[in-house]
Amino acid sequence: MNEKRGIILAGALTGIIAVILVIFGNPLNMGFCIACFVRDITGALGMHRAAPVQYIRPEIIGLVLGAFASALAFREFKSTGGSAVILRFLLGAFMMMGALIFLGCPLRMLLRMAGGDLNALAALPGYILGIWVGVQFLQRGYTLGAAGEQPSLNGLAGPLASVVLLVIAAAAPAYIFFSTEGPGSMRAPLAISLGAGLLVGIMAQRSRLCTMGAFRDLLLFKDFHLFSGIAALFIAAAAGNILGGYFNPGFAEQPVAHAEALWNFLGMGIVGLAAVLAGGCPLRQLILTGEGNGDAAATTLGTVFGAAVMHNFGWAASPAGVVQEARILVVFLWILLLVIASVITWQVRLLEKQKEAQKAPSGSGRASSAGRAG
């Protein structure tokens, strides 16, 4: 019961905070967007040169540090990692690529819907389809393998890097790029953005809020727990938008969005599938990074790489739509993800069969060995 109230509260407050960030200057329907904000940071550091989308978004820093503080306080900080790091990096990159076709991470998809952007309604079934496809692999044994304990510094790297970013954001040295026009120039004051990130980081760490897990658990186990969180988020953000006068239903001329339904659908499908394969949506990866999960940090670095690729090659979508090369990329990424998931699942099953064949003669099967030393 208590857990249930926690996730609904975390979702609802996140939705409200997202609207407050818009009031204070963030782009419309972009109180939070993990993909957009990581992309902005990538640009601020000069790893892409798309001038309108460069800023060190304090929300991202806050999310990691909030989760870090919360994990420390509740003795949940643990330096772990070492599970298929390169694959996770790539899955992170693919997640970002899909998100920059749609123009938003799944969190922003919800916020766009809550702001009346009906284009996001085409992305939602795509996201769910991607998650459903991922779930099929999970049910057949897909796994990236177990993570293990790592040196403390490995887990601290994410939070420490966030502190460095915060210093750079505050000092704003000349070699860092800050947009003077476009979405990157629209921002709430640093302290408010940081505070919002910290608050949501703490709540997301406690409640395990995840936009992918919400649909995945529903499809896998008919478990509404995480879903209740994002439902609350959507309702709170929609209410906030209506009260604040930001609710503007329609398809055309939506803020930082395009109206190409098919590509919104397929782009967000990539995010859903890659998120299942990587074990969390972009938001969840940031929270896990704060908890000392080096694998999640690698996934987040992958999103930085993905953002650089999309903007350096001019493949990221814009309000003008999706370029031809990016459409080819979408199809290619769908195929690539299916191949990766199939190969891993096939290999896991093969290994299991081999293990069972080895066990069979000795007879004892899967007997208990619960007392095994930890």
List interacting residues with other proteins (CB under 8 A): 3, 74, 76, 78, 80, 83, 138-139, 143, 145-149, 208, 213, 216-217, 220-221, 223, 225, 279-280, 295, 366-370, 372, 374
Identify which of 100, 98, 97 has the alpha carbon closest to the alpha carbon of residue 127. 98
- 307 vs 340, beta carbon nearer other proteins: 340
- 139 vs 180, beta carbon nearer other proteins: 139
- 129 vs 225, beta carbon nearer other proteins: 225
Identify which of 260, 309, 295, 298 has the alpha carbon closest to the alpha carbon of residue 39. 309
- 141 vs 195, beta carbon nearer other proteins: 141
Question: Which residue is listed with tokens 């959507």?
Answer: 234
Phi and psi of 134, rounded to 5°? -60, -40
Q: How far is the CB of 316 from other proteins (least distance, A)?
A: 29
- Distance, in Å, from the CA atom of 264 to the CA atom of 322, rounded to the nearest integer, reads 9
Q: How far is the CB of 146 from other proteins (least distance, A)?
A: 3
Burial class (CB in 10 A: 0-12, 13-18, 19+), 314: exposed
Q: How far is the CB of 89 from other proteins (least distance, A)?
A: 16
Q: How far is the CB of 141 from other proteins (least distance, A)?
A: 9
Identify which of 338, 330, 124 has the alpha carbon closest to the alpha carbon of residue 214. 124
**Rg, C-alpha atoms of the chain:** 20
- 76 vs 325, beta carbon nearer other proteins: 76
Q: How far is the CB of 217 from other proteins (least distance, A)?
A: 7
Q: How far is the CB of 344 from other proteins (least distance, A)?
A: 13
Beta carbons of 211 and 106 less than 8 angstroms apart: yes
Q: Measured between alpha carbons, how far is residue 13 from residues 57, 236, 244, 246 in Å? A: 20, 7, 16, 18
- 59 vs 217, beta carbon nearer other proteins: 217
